Amino acid sequence: MTPDRSRWLTCRVRRPDARLRLYCFPHSGGSPGEYLRWAEGLPGIEVWGVQAPGRAGRLWEDPYERMDELVGALVTEARFTGPFAFFGHSLGALVGYETARALRAAGRPGPDLLFASALCAPVHQPVRAPLSGLSDAAVLDAVQDRFGQLPADVFEDEELRGRILGCLRADFAVLDGYRHAPGPLLECPVVVLGGTEDTEPESGLRDWAAHTTGWSDLHFLPGGHFYLREQHDAVHRIVLDAVQRTGLPRAA
């Protein structure tokens, strides 16, 4: 069975002989494009991006504002075929985690590995004051303070800015409204990554280990919240090493 080529899942480099698929969940307001480029550094792995409404090829669709609705639609409409792993950055780590839980609740196979990047464990969420109710200017300022300068065309194109703000507000609402519900632990290993200059506390990152019966590792790489943009080679090595440790096939 091949992965669903639906509006939810996108792949840039198909590898029919790949023994592992890596599904990447982007950060707040993000699209899967930058993660799809990882295919060059992950030989033998087929990299897929999870594309939610309100961004990239689905920019003109209304985004979800609740975690249960977002994950419910994703699990209903998309197929994850394996062996497979999830990689989620920031909000994407939380969406990937809840998707793994929802798959098991539906009686479907879950990921063989979960990579959680730049976000404290689900039990600690949300850890910051709500952002979804801020003014447009305050939302943009908050995003730039935490994530860095936005592209100039965001400020020059009013229509584009409105769509991006809508997506950001929706993603913030997903996180603002999230409350971790007790339930069965994951069984797959959880590999946690963080930036040495990010504001996510080490203790909160370490607590991902409490959400699985499998083993868990924590890696810190130089950089801030988006450390992985400068450290993609190191991220790829961590991914490949975790695949090998788990006993999943690794490219020669």
Residues with catalytic roles: 90, 225
Is the separation of the CB atoms in 93 and 167 below 8 Å? no
The rounded Cα 236 to chain-centroid distance in angstroms is 15
Q: How far apart are CA 128 and CA 87, in angstroms?
A: 23
Q: Spell out where 57-214 has E strands.
A: 84-89, 113-117, 190-195
Cα-based distances in Å from 30 to 54, 132, 150: 10, 16, 12
Q: How far apart are CA 209 and CA 195, in angstroms?
A: 18
Using DSSP, state whether 46 is helix, strand or coil. strand
Name the DSSP class of 77: H
Classify the C-alpha dihedral 139-143-144-150 as positive or negative: negative
**How open is the CA angle 78-121-23, to the nearest 5 degrees?**
25
Beta bridge partner(s), residue 127: none
